[in-house]
Amino acid sequence: MTTIWNKAAALALLAGPAFAQTPCRDLSFDDTRYTVCEAHAGDDLRLFLDDAVGNLIGTPERLSEVIPAGDQIVFAMNAGMYHPDRKPVGLFIEGGVALHKIVTSEGPGNFGLLPNGVFCIGKGFSVVESRAFAADPPSCNYATQSGPMLVIDGALHPKFLEDGTSKHIRNGVGVSADGQTAYFAISDAPVTFHEFARLFRDDLKTPNALYLDGKVSRLTIPDQGREDLGLPMGPIVALISPAPPSPAD
């Protein structure tokens, strides 16, 4: 994973973040480094896919151009699996409208490794197993389906092997037991599913957590000058805040 610094990022650091403290931190768990970003109920956390005329947004750089003037990205991350045309594989809700249907059948790849799940942004946050979501959909302003689930009611996904050998840079989201905090994590080095899931269960203490993707995982934190490189993505999750006033103001 590559991180670049630029003049704009340096100026952002001098200006200071719009949040009292940038809600992202580095931590070490089982000798692996991770970056974890938090969002809290009431924060302006959204999912993005296309712009107002239907063109794929694809990158945090493009996202910064399409959000309203006066707003800024606090952090942004890829938010679920997508087809080669960047369209979501499963459920995608934006602004309360379902743009893609939920998929509840077993299938190939990580997405189809049931149980998979849905991350929902409503009055609070939740990660819900997909079939349970389909049977009794909660109210979501935004939602994205991905898979597999990492943690299900406090237990690791039953198909994760402690001695697994498949390792990738991975990112995912877990939600606190009270639904008030969402934790977005990305590994700084390749990890197995078992290792990554344990981060959410044992360190972040989230009873439910969802895998978002691997290999393509990217995180942008403008105030920290972090801008992971990669190809255009499908769904993006981003925490938005008002930009701080310029010195001239």
Average pLDDT of the segment spanning 36-51:
98
The pLDDT, as a whole number, for residue 221 is 97
pLDDT category at 59 given cuts 50, 70, 90 is very high
Is the pLDDT score of 5 beyond 50?
no
Does the predicted model carry a pTM greater than 0.85?
A: yes
Average pLDDT of the segment spanning 15-42:
84
Is the pLDDT score of 9 beyond 80?
no
For residue range 60-95, what is the model confidence (pLDDT) as tens digits? 999 999 999 899 999 999 999 999 999 999 999 999
The pLDDT, as a whole number, for residue 21 is 66
**Choice among 2-6, 140-144, 184-188 with the minimum mean pLDDT:** 2-6
**Choice among 16-20, 157-161, 209-213 with the minimum mean pLDDT:** 16-20
The pLDDT, as a whole number, for residue 244 is 75
User: What is the share, in percent, of the chain residues with pLDDT greater than 90?
Assistant: 83
The pLDDT, as a whole number, for residue 19 is 55
For residue range 221-243, what is the model confidence (pLDDT) as tens digits? 999 999 999 999 999 999 999 98
| 3-state SS track over the chain | CCCCCCHHHHHHHHHCCCCCCCCEEEEEECCEEEEEEEEECCCEEEEECECCCCCECCCHHHHHHHCCCCEEEEEEEECCCECCCCCECCCEEECCEEEECCCCCCCCCCCCCCCCEEEEECCCEEEEEHHHHHHCCCCCCEEEEECCEEEECCEECCCCCCCCCCCECEEEEEECCCCCEEEEEEECCCECHHHHHHHHHHHCCCCEEEEEEECCCCEEEHHHCEECCCCCCCCEEEEEEECCCCCCC
